[in-house]
Amino acid sequence: MTRLLIALIALLSINTVAFGHSKMSGSTPEDGATVEAGLAAVSLTFDRKVRLTRVMLAAAPAEMTLAAVMSDVEALENQAEIGVLSELPKGFVEETEIDFDPLIPGVYKLHWIAVAQDGHTMEGKVHFAVESAD
């Protein structure tokens, strides 16, 4: 029993080291959220400072649902990239806002790439749906 406990603690420690670098702790809208038309910014929050190197916003093909976009990576080949208006922060930040022209109804994916302060490159995606206000 003690041996099992030690093995378990060792395993947990390894995980702590492996995932010790920064990660995204949240976004607005959240991944999987549905928001009203007119959304013009996505904010990203990280648990430790990162330097964003690339942010891409893309609209999914019109026939795709949010659930399909979240689960089917291949289908995003036909996505239309949308211009991001804001410049990425030059230094390391814990939070940033990505601005763009107000979005029309549709399903979108925001893909970000960042470097953590420990030098690791990280990336992630936020998927969300924009629906018409009526």
17 touching Cu ion, by CB under 5 A: no
**Interface residues for Cu ion in 24-83 (CB under 5 A)?**
none
19 touching Cu ion, by CB under 5 A: no
Within the chain, strands assigned E span 24-28, 33-36, 41-59, 80-82, 93-99, 106-116, 121-131
Interface residue with Cu ion, options 118, 132, 133, 134 (CB under 5 A): 118
Residues in the chain: 134
Interface residue with Cu ion, options 30, 34, 85, 120 (CB under 5 A): 120
15 touching Cu ion, by CB under 5 A: no
Give me the DSSP letters along 78-95: G-EEE---SPPPSS-EEE
Residue pair 56/82 in contact (Cβ under 8 Å)? The answer is no
Nearer to Cu ion (CB atom), residue 4 or residue 19: 19
Nearer to Cu ion (CB atom), residue 57 or residue 116: 116
